[in-house]
Structure formats: structure tokens, C-alpha cells
Amino acid sequence: MAKAADILILLTYVMIAVVAALGFDYLGLMTTASAWMMGAIVFIVAGMAHSAAARSAERSALEGELQKLKAANLALAEEFEAAQARLDEITDELRAESVERDNALVHEVRVLEDLVRRVGDAPLDRSTAAPGPQASGQVDIELVRDALADNRVDLYLQPIVTLPQRRTAFYEGFTRLRDETGRVITPAAFIEAAEQAGLMTEVDNLLLFRCVQIVRKLTGHDRKVAMFCNISLNSLADETFFPTFLDFIRQHRALASALIFEISQRAFDERDSIAARNMARMVDFGFRFSVDQVTNLDMDLDQMQRAGVRFIKVSGERLLDAIDGFKPIAGVSAGDIAPQDIASIFARNGIDLIAERIEEESTVVEVLELDIAFGQGHLFGTPRQVKEEALEDGTDLAVSLAV
């Protein structure tokens, strides 16, 4: 296309030169030879003018291209600087996260090592043990020490479901120990051994710490899971362990929405100022509490609300017996309130009732009449072990528990 245009332009200049030569010759302004020479000069001048114009156009186009290249180069440099700045920012964030993670890991390992050392170094106290041979089913404290030191601690989860839909809303976590052969050491066995050895506080603390560790692993895979984890009065009032544990959960305060600490009603009522203060500090970090093993339904809900209690677990049978026996509930006489309004009394104090130990469908029907929102018991699911592989990868929790 460009060659055709050049040929047309050349022919145009030739025609101009021929017309000029013929005109000069026809008008008699020049001799014929001079006229054709003048035509040649016109052709040369036109060609030079065209060449100059073409070079000017090329120069302008080239300058335009250079300007575009400069602008593109400037934009690329700015993008590179922005990318470099973002890369430096990400590097600083990763370095800070790495340092924080390393510090948290070192702190966690130190807490764990200290707890294991306390269990391992504590002298055996047999003064409270009954004389004679070891009771059937009881394990030796050395088995407990070895299981804790070797991290043979498993997490069992039991679902807490919504009523009447029976969809899993929470889990309650139970820690279990294994001996070196893999045999599960039941709580009744190792608690008895720990009590006889005077190590109950250390065992409570270590099991609590293990439970929180495992919950942290589960939530680390972005699983939407909220778990009830038992905490003993021994742990809450332990001035040696608890400040360190409090620092640990402060570093993992992101777990606040996923972790609910559970304490028995007796422990809640018997807690001293140290335990109450430690509970308050945990509430300040956003953690919630649950009260279980309820024996007296005539409880002070205002006090519990101030202490950070957001759930109360009551045996379905006990709740029904209290209603049938016209016993006061949360300061209200049974005859002064309709059974279906009982749950709302707790709800007004920001506390949800959970009917636990539900074993039969008939109990569910009666509990539903009380408008209780949550239920727990073997009818809805027995405690199931969380497999180790589920802690390490993204395996769905419900699938893991079903295996």
C-alpha cells in the first residue's frame, strides 16, 4: 500500500514537471531545451519538498512514539516503585508475624514444659490414699505423667444442637489420656490417681492448656466452630499457672468467639477473689463462660451475667423435676411464671439455657415445651474423638467426627 502511494506521488510530480515544461515552451518564455530543463528543476524541487515533508512527518511520529515510550516507562517505574513498596510492606508484616508467632510458640512451649515438669517433679503424696492394694480401674500416676509428657492427649467432641432443628451449634470438648499401648485412660481413673498423688491442680492446668491448643489448631483452618472447654477452680485460683495461661490466651484472643470456658456451679459459688478476678480478666479479653453441673436452679442471674456467664447447662430431667415440684427458678417461684417463659428469664440476662443429658425422645418433647433453644446428650450424639489428621489439615470437622 505504501509503495503504491509513493508511485502515485512520483507520477504526480512527473506530470507537474511535464506540464511546466510544455507551458514554458508554448508561451515562448524559454527555448524548448530550457523549458524541459526547467521542468526537470520543478520535478527535483517538488521531490525535495516532498522528502522534507516526509522526514518532518516521520520525525513528528518518532517524537510521538518517544513521548509514549517515556510516559509508559514512567508509569512502569511508578508501578515498580509501588510494587516494591508493597513488597517491603508485606515483608515487614511477614517478619513481624513470624516474630510474633515465634514468640508465641516459644511462650507456649515454655508453658507446656513448665506444666509437664511440675507434674513430673511433684512428690507423690500418699497420705490421703486408702491403705491396701490399688483400686480396680485406677491407674498409676506414672502413667498419667508419661501420657502428659508424651502428648498422648486426645480431644473428644460432643455436639450441642439447636432445638427443634437439631443442627450442631457448638461442641463440648473432653480431654482423654492414652497410655503407651494406646489404651484410653478414663477421667475417673487418672483423676483418682492425680488426687492421691496431690497433682490434681497440675493435671487440671495441663489438660486445660492442651484443650486450648487443640481448639487453636481447629480454628486455624478457618473452621466455624465454637467449643465449650472445661476449666477447674484449681486452674482459676492457681497464682503460679494462671498469669502465664492468661498471657497465652491474650496472645490468642482471636479465639474468644470460638472458645467458651465451662465451670461447675459449685466451683462458681465457691470461687475466691483470685478466681473471680481471673474470670473478669478473661471476660475483658472477650471470652465467655458457661456453668454446668447445676444442682440449684434458684441462682442469681445478675451475678452470673456480671461474671461473664453466657450459658447455663441444666439436666433436662432436673429442670422438669423443678417445674413439677414447684421449686423456685432464678429467683422466681414456679407458680409465678409459665413454663414456656422460663428460658426468657435467663435470656433477659444475656444467658442461654442448654438442656443437657438428653437421652430419650420423650425428654425432647417436654424440653421443647419450655422453649429452650439448645440441647445436648447422647440422643444427639456421643463424644467422638477428633482424629489427628483432622487437626493438621482442612478436613471438615463433622466428617472427621463421623468417621
Q: SS3 breakdown of the chain: % helix, strand, coil, rounded to 5?
A: 60, 15, 25
Q: Are residues 240 and 365 in the same domain?
A: yes
Q: Which three cell numbers stand for residue 327?
A: 421449686
Q: Can you tell me which residue has the cell 497440675?
A: 202
Q: Are 328 and 298 in contact (CB under 8 A)?
A: yes
15-60 pLDDT tens trace:
766 666 666 666 666 666 666 776 677 667 666 766 666 677 777 7
The C-alpha atoms of residue 215 and residue 251 are separated, in whole angstroms, by 14
**What pLDDT band is residue 263 in, cutting at 50, 70 and 90?**
very high
Average pLDDT of the segment spanning 154-164: 90
Sequence-distant (≥ 6) Cβ neighbours of residue 323 within 8 angstroms: 329, 334, 339, 342, 370
Q: Which three cell numbers stand for residue 31?
A: 527555448
Q: What is the DSSP-derived secondary structure letter of residue 130?
A: P
Q: How much of the chain, in percent, has pLDDT values that exceed 90?
A: 22
Other beta carbons within 10 angstroms of residue 261's beta carbon come to 24
**pLDDT mean across residues, the chain:** 76
Q: Which three cell numbers stand for residue 224?
A: 466455624
Q: Would residue 107 count as lying in a domain?
A: no
Cite the beta strand spans of 42-186 per DSSP E: 153-162, 168-178, 184-185
Three-state DSSP class for residue 279: helix
Q: Are residues 74 and 180 in the same domain?
A: no
Q: Could you tell me the CATH number of the domain that includes residue 241?
A: 3.20.20.450
Q: Would residue 73 count as lying in a domain?
A: yes
Q: Can you tell me which residue has the cell 511520529?
A: 61
Q: Would residue 104 count as lying in a domain?
A: no
Q: Are residues 260 and 365 in the same domain?
A: yes
Q: Are residues 29 and 134 in the same domain?
A: no
| Structural domains in the chain (count) | 2
Q: Would residue 219 count as lying in a domain?
A: yes
Q: Are residues 38 and 168 in the same domain?
A: no
Decide if pLDDT at 1 tops 50: yes
Q: Which residue has the higher pLDDT, 76 or 306?
A: 306
From 16-20, 173-177, 229-233, 268-272, the region with the lowest mean pLDDT: 16-20
> In this predicted structure, what is the pLDDT of residue 35?
63
**How remote is the C-alpha of 289 from its chain's centroid?**
20
Q: Are residues 311 and 184 in the same domain?
A: yes
> In this predicted structure, what is the pLDDT of residue 243?
85
Q: Would residue 271 count as lying in a domain?
A: yes
C-alpha distance from residue 191 to each of 146, 281, 285 (Å): 15, 28, 30
* Angle, CA of 173, 237 and 212, to the nearest 5°: 25
Q: Would residue 93 count as lying in a domain?
A: no
123-156 pLDDT tens trace:
444 443 333 333 445 567 777 777 777 778 888 8
173-201 pLDDT tens trace:
888 888 888 888 877 777 777 777 777 77
Residue 352: strand pairing partners: 311
> In this predicted structure, what is the pLDDT of residue 310?
96
pTM of the model: 0.67
Q: Which residue has the higher pLDDT, 345 or 88?
A: 345
Q: Which phi and psi (to 5°) does residue 299 adopt?
A: -105, 160
Q: Would residue 389 count as lying in a domain?
A: yes
> In this predicted structure, what is the pLDDT of residue 102?
39
> First CA to last CA across the chain, in angstroms?
75
Letter for the amino acid at 101? R
Q: Are residues 383 and 283 in the same domain?
A: yes
Decide if pLDDT at 271 tops 80: yes
Q: Where do the H-state alpha helices sit in 228-297?
A: 233-236, 242-251, 265-270, 273-284
Q: Would residue 318 count as lying in a domain?
A: yes
Number of helical H runs and strand E runs in the chain? 15, 10
From 52-61, 161-170, 174-183, 229-238, the region with the lowest mean pLDDT: 52-61
Q: Are residues 365 and 302 in the same domain?
A: yes
Q: Are residues 68 and 139 in the same domain?
A: no
Q: Are residues 209 and 357 in the same domain?
A: yes
> In this predicted structure, what is the pLDDT of residue 284?
92
Q: How much of the chain, in percent, has pLDDT values that exceed 70?
A: 69
Q: Are residues 207 and 65 in the same domain?
A: no
Q: Can you tell me which residue has the cell 492427649?
A: 153
Kindly report the length of the chain: 403
The C-alpha atoms of residue 54 and residue 175 are separated, in whole angstroms, by 88
Domain that holds residue 35: 2-84
Decide if pLDDT at 384 tops 50: yes
